[in-house]
């Protein structure tokens, strides 16, 4: 049996079972550490799974905003610094952010016709 499931560690989607053999089993991207540049002395590094420095910075911002008050979205961006776990080299990344309007459509059910009213109107 195969399933396309969301990895509990990194949040990415991947195959399990026999389809993992065909398409390649999921492996989590490496761990990076990230923090907001402006408040770096007040906050600890946050660990995120990411493919590279920019990916790490944007994933960090996504989590930071959804755990807080969407301050990065409100400010239109942030400066973030990231480093690969266990490495000293720090990369500063500029983040620009915008919120995207989303519209959800749900068709209404037609209103039920009252059969008594219909016959009354027909007279």
Interface ranges with Zn ion (CB under 5 A): 7, 9-10, 28
Q: Which is nearer to Zn ion, 28 or 73 (CB)?
A: 28
Smallest distance, Zn ion to C-beta of residue 51, A: 12
Instruction: Output helix, strand, coil percentages for the chain, rounded to the nearest 5.
Output: 30, 25, 45
Smallest distance, Zn ion to C-beta of residue 32, A: 14
Q: Which is nearer to Zn ion, 14 or 80 (CB)?
A: 14
Smallest distance, Zn ion to C-beta of residue 44, A: 23
Are the C-beta atoms of 96 and 74 separated by less than 8 Å?
A: no
46-49 and 77-84 beta bridge pairing: unpaired
């Amino acid at each position: 049996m195969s399933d396309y499931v969301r990895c509990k560690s990194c949040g990415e989607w991947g195959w399990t079972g026999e389809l993992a053999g065909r398409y390649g089993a999921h492996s989590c991207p490496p761990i990076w550490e990230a923090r907001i540049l402006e408040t770096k002395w007040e906050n600890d590094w946050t660990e995120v799974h990411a493919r590279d420095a920019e990916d790490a910075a944007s994933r960090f911002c996504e989590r930071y905003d959804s755990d807080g008050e969407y301050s990065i979205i409100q400010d239109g961006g942030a400066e973030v610094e990231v480093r690969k776990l266990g490495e000293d080299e720090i990369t500063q990344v500029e983040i620009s952010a915008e919120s995207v309007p989303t519209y959800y459509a749900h068709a209404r059910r037609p209103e039920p016709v009252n059969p008594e009213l219909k016959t009354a109107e027909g007279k």
